[in-house]
Amino acid sequence: MQRAERVAVDFPMPSRNFAATRRVLLVVLAVSILFPLACLAGYGYFDYQRRIADSNDVIDRLVRVTEEQAVKVLDLNQQMASRIVELIGDEDDAQLRAHDAQLHRSLREIGGDFPQVASINLIGVNGDLLVSSRAYPAARISIGDREDFVAARAMRPHPYFSLPMFGPLSQTDVFNTTVARTDAEGRFLGAVSVALRNEYFSHFYRELTNGDPSLALALYRQDGNLLVRYPPWPVGATATTADAFAAALRDKQLSGHVRVKSPVDGGERLVAFRRVGDYPLYVSSAYSTGSIVDVWRRHFMVIAALTAVPCIAIWILVLYSLRQLDGERVAWERWQGEVAMRLSAEASSRQLQRMGALGNLVANVAHDFNNLLMVVSANIELARMKRYNNLEKEMTAVQRATATAESLTRRLLSVAKKQPLKQEPIDLRKWMPGAAPLVEAALGDHIVLALSIVDDVWEVLADPTDLELAIMNLAVNARDAMPRGGRFVIRCQNNRLVGSDTLLPDGEYVLIACSDDGEGMPESVARRAFEPLFTTKLSGSGAGLGLAQVLSMCEQAGGTAKIDSVPGSGTTVRLYLPRYRERRQTRPVNEEVAEQPALRHAGMVLLVEDNEDVAAGVAAVLETFGCEVRHEPTADQALDVLTGGERFELVLSDIQMPGKLNGIDLAEKVRSAWPSQKIALMTGYADELERARRLGVAILAKPFDIAELHALVACEP
């Protein structure tokens, strides 16, 4: 059996890359979808453009034919008017009435049987109808006030084309071409009016378009007024010319193309237009883009359907292959299951061991470093209590170095988010003025500090020391950015975030904005400003932990930080901290210490600490408080002492210790076996705090201040 297992482990596993095969099949599926879609989109686009170009060619040809027909009709019309003017010469109204019968026959001969001519009329100087080719004798009609007569008299000798009207003599829809008559001295003698049938032009346009409703041919005056259109507009519709087309006519363009949306029916059309010879008339040919799109869509759907047939076959084949591949993968995994599980378990075990070792290394380094600082801090405090004995200067230097080391350790652990927090509600209205002297000291004499705090600013839950360190870091950065002095402003206000770019959930936050008017920083530096160990200062001038600590402090409090900087204009760092709302189950660490019942008199303290130096320092401090101390190096030994029946006023235990039990295990057993026994824990590692807090015991974060220990035991020396 052992031999079989060894063979299973040592035998090289056959390789089969199902993921790569699956990716290839998915790529084939994606290509079989995207490539035809891209081809169809490209074909559809170019086919649509081709149809638009073909439609433009069609309306170009139609408008040319329409223009030629209109020129022929109007030239003939001009010739007839010229012959009539030459025939009657300078005769006045009375002379024309004197031989109106002969003139009636002459007008009928000149007009002939031209289908476009509805009637030819001679108009007197006052607008009276003198002679008509339509009837004899002429009806007593006066057009002296009609716009075509008035305009023709004003425009002489140029012809005038009237708006469409219903002819009283021809009893049909016509538009008139009116030419004024003048004598040799330029006096107005009357006018010759030729009425042209609208139906003649409509019939020609209908034949030219072959009755296609998507095509429209029309004759316009230069001012944009419609004379004839096929197909005609619906009854009751106002024949209004589109702005773009009307502008082209007013500009007297000889020809052109426009794409307009009709103000009559709202339809979009391609329009080609041309001027009719030298006449103030235009012909146009229009093609409905809706019809073009309908034809294009039907054709495109046919092409898409033909394209979809082979594509669907490919998709079915690829999906079938994917399903078969999944079946093969399941069978392969079952066949290799036993060996794979064993190899995976071994690999996981090795990985867990490596990660555990790394975690222990980090914990031990943090724990041991804090222990060393605890030793130094405790002994300095003892030296202070013993009046230094002529070593005050040297001990002060050691104390300053210890404070610096504690600050550096705190920043390192804070950036790594392993710093034991002592969070408590903070009223910024009271807290910020108290921190102002330290901030001013960090800024120096040349920089002015200004505080702006709204009266109703909300409370926040944070570690006051961490918050103070963050403000100090920002103040130091501002000082370095303003070597010639300036202004550092701290603003505190309430802020409700809804859909902001801070990645924070919507809710209520307190905004602490710290602004300076210093040199600022470029965008490339601002993007990396919160990275740990990143600094732009000279070597030895900064560790690159300041802004990293600021961001870490905000995140551990449930908020975040943002930086805005403009080179030459200054920098603003915004700290967002969640609004604190009191919860009954929430008990900050310092409150735990405060609520721990104090000893009313000196008593026995059981100190559980594996580090002899730390134990000696803490024991010495406790003895100065008047306490008797018994030291045990492990939690196992301490439990044996308690089990043996000894009782103490306080059990003070470290958390990380060698042996079967750690400090938390000891606290759990003490709480279970002796509920009235007072117990407190010491630690320098944040990951251990959550479990300890659930016990509800007092927690001292190393290196703790001696005042915290004194507040815990409250023993008089």
CB count within 10 Å of CB 2 equals 6
Which range is least confidently modeled, 539-548, 572-581, 631-640, 642-651?
A: 539-548
Q: What is the pLDDT of residues 64-95, one digit of tens each?
A: 999 998 999 998 888 888 888 888 888 888 88
Across residues 380-394, what is the average pLDDT? Answer: 60
Binning the chain into helix, strand and coil, the percentages to the nearest 5 are 50, 20, 30
Peptide bond into 522 cis (omega under 30): no
Query: pLDDT at residue 381 above 80?
Result: no
Distant-in-sequence, close-in-space partners of 546: CB < 8 Å, separation ≥ 6:
411, 473, 474, 476, 477
pTM (global) more than 0.75: no
pLDDT given for residue 611 in this prediction: 81
187 vs 383, more confident: 187
Selection from 375, 368, 419 nearest residue 657 by Cα: 368
Report pLDDT for 536.
67
Please give the average per-residue pLDDT across 435-439, as a whole number: 87
Superfamily of domain 29-323: PAS domain (3.30.450.20)
Rounded-to-10 torsion of CA 318, 322, 327, 332: 120
Which pLDDT score, from 0 to 100, does residue 649 have? 87
Stretch 33-42: mean pLDDT, rounded?
90
CATH H-level superfamily of 589-713 = Response regulator (3.40.50.2300)
Cis preceding-peptide flag for 137 (omega within 30 of 0): yes
Condensed to tens digits (0 to 9), the pLDDT of residues 160-209 reads 898 888 877 778 888 989 998 888 888 888 889 898 988 999 999 999 98
Higher pLDDT, 708 or 455: 455
Residue 520: both structure tokens together: 């600022």
pLDDT given at position 464: 86
Given this model, what pLDDT does residue 90 score? 84
Residue type, 439: V
pLDDT at 85: 86
Which helix (H) or strand (E) is 14 found in, with range?
none
pLDDT score for 356: 46
Identify the residue with better confidence: 341 or 27: 27
pLDDT higher than threshold 90 for residue 491: yes
Query: Has residue 534 got a pLDDT over 50?
Result: yes
Is the pLDDT at 233 greater than 70? The verdict is yes
Kindly tell me if the per-residue pLDDT of 14 is higher than 80: no
| Mean pLDDT, residues 215-244 taken together | 81
Over pLDDT 70: what percentage of the chain?
78
Ranges of each domain in the chain: 29-323, 408-419+423-578, 589-713
* Domain 408-419+423-578: top CATH class: alpha beta
Assess contact for 664 and 334: CB atoms under 8 A. no
Q: Looking at this protein, which amino acid is placed at residue 596?
A: Q
DSSP character string of 436-496? HHHHHHHH-TTEEEEEEE-TTPPPEEE-HHHHHHHHHHHHHHHHHH-TT-EEEEEEEEEEE
Residue-level pLDDT at 576: 92
Encode pLDDT of 560-596 as tens digits: 888 888 888 889 999 999 998 876 544 444 444 334 3
**For residue 344, what pLDDT band results from cuts at 50, 70 and 90?**
low
Residue 412 has pLDDT above 70, yes or no: no
* Two domains, one topology: 29-323 and 589-713: no
**Which stretch of DSSP H or E encloses residue 53?**
helix 18-88
Q: Which residues are registered as beta bridge partners of 193?
A: 121, 178
